[in-house]
């Protein structure tokens, strides 16, 4: 069992204590997401969904305008922003005290989202797809989620060859953290990138060795919610793997995860409550 270090991140003047686990609710605004897309043109549906997430225990709302599931196609910056702009403005206005993250690998989207009140950046590329990303995040002063990845979604599953998966991932994080710190980014969270340039088997290797990444000294975010590492293994659909998702959330918490990025907030909140009771027993 891993004890949580005292770690506070500054989300645009709002301090979030990660010494106890927090929940990031996924809000997919892209119509081709693999699970539960929210129609960005339906403001009532969006606000109802976000309200339910917040009331169920979500600390962060993660808005994404472009699907990054394996095999998905890239869209233009303008199309991504078209999907994001109104929902972001609406959620920011309706839930002024809720932390909002923007799920993007484009620095221009980060700048636009920052101007509309976003609190942190969730980048699936680790800065690899936009040379201005780290500099832009540093300029905004908001936290950055650094994910391990090797390629864009349309070819990420073609680059899954590793000599030593965990060591290579660790070295990747060391290098990227150095670059971020050099640019002046102060608040960094680490995401192993389950499903991104990894085979099903490799995802379980990461899960088994998750505790290794706590040695980096930064909060650990885990995103395994309803992913193919479960539903492909079990030959079923994403809708049918909530139970195993919750089980692996518990294992992630045991390994030291500070943030769970999830589709099902209530179940994740219950998992955290049970875990914390178990931890102090």
Asked if residue 3 is part of any domain, the answer here is no
Q: Is residue 39 part of a domain?
A: yes
Distance separating alpha carbons of residues 125 and 153, to the nearest angstrom? 10
For the residues of 120-186, what is the DSSP string, one character each?
EEEETTTT-S-TTHHHHHHHHT--EEEE---S-TTTGGG----SSHHHHHHHHHHHHHHHHHHHT--
What percent of the chain is modeled with pLDDT above 90? 85
The answer, as to whether pTM is greater than 0.85, is yes
pLDDT digits (tens, 9 = 90+) for 151-165: 888 788 899 999 999
Is 229 among the domain residues? yes
Mean pLDDT along residues 243-261: 98
Domain membership flag for residue 153:
yes
- How many domains, in total, are found in the chain? 1
Is there a domain that residue 1 lies in?
no
Asked whether residue 36 carries a pLDDT value surpassing 70, the answer given is no
Q: Is residue 89 domain-resident? A: yes
Domain of 14? 8-280
Q: Which residues are catalytic?
A: 227, 261
pLDDT tens digits along 108-163: 999 999 999 999 999 999 999 999 999 999 999 999 999 999 988 878 889 999 99
**How confident is the model at residue 1, as a pLDDT?**
47
CATH number at residue 147: 3.20.20.20
Within a domain: 215: yes
Question: Is it the case that residue 34 has pLDDT exceeding 60?
Answer: no
Query: What tens digit of pLDDT does each residue of 167-226 get?
Result: 999 999 999 999 999 999 999 999 999 999 999 999 999 999 999 999 999 999 999 999
Question: Which two tokens mark 108?
Answer: 């221009």
Let me know if residue 197 belongs to a domain.
yes
């Amino acid at each position: 069992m891993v004890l949580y270090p005292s770690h506070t991140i500054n989300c645009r003047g709002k301090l979030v204590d990660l010494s106890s686990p927090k929940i990031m609710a996924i809000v997919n605004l892209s119509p081709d997401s693999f699970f539960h897309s929210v129609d960005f043109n339906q403001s009532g549906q969006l606000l109802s969904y976000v309200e339910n997430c917040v009331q169920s225990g979500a600390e962060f709302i993660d808005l994404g305008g472009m699907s990054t599931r394996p095999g998905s196609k890239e869209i233009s910056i303008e199309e991504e922003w078209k999907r994001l702009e109104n929902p972001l403005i609406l959620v920011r206005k309706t839930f002024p005290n809720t932390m909002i993250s923007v799920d993007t690998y484009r620095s221009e989207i980060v700048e636009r989202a920052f101007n509309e009140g976003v609190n942190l950046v969730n980048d699936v590329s680790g800065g690899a797809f936009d040379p201005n990303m780290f500099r832009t995040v540093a300029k905004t002063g908001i936290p950055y989620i650094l994910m391990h990845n090797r390629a864009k979604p349309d070819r990420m599953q073609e680059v899954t060859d590793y000599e030593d998966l965990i060591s290579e991932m660790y070295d990747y994080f060391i290098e990227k953290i150095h670059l971020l710190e050099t640019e002046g980014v102060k608040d960094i969270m680490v995401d192993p990138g389950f499903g991104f340039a990894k085979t099903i088997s490799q995802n379980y290797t990461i899960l088994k060795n998750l505790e290794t990444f706590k040695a980096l000294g930064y909060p650990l975010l885990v995103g395994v919610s309803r992913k193919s590492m479960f539903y492909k293994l079990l030959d079923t659909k994403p809708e049918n793997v909530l139970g195993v998702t919750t089980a692996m959330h518990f294992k992630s918490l045991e390994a030291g995860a500070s943030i769970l990025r999830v589709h099902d907030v209530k179940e994740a909140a219950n998992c955290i409550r049970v875990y914390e009771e178990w931890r102090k027993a």
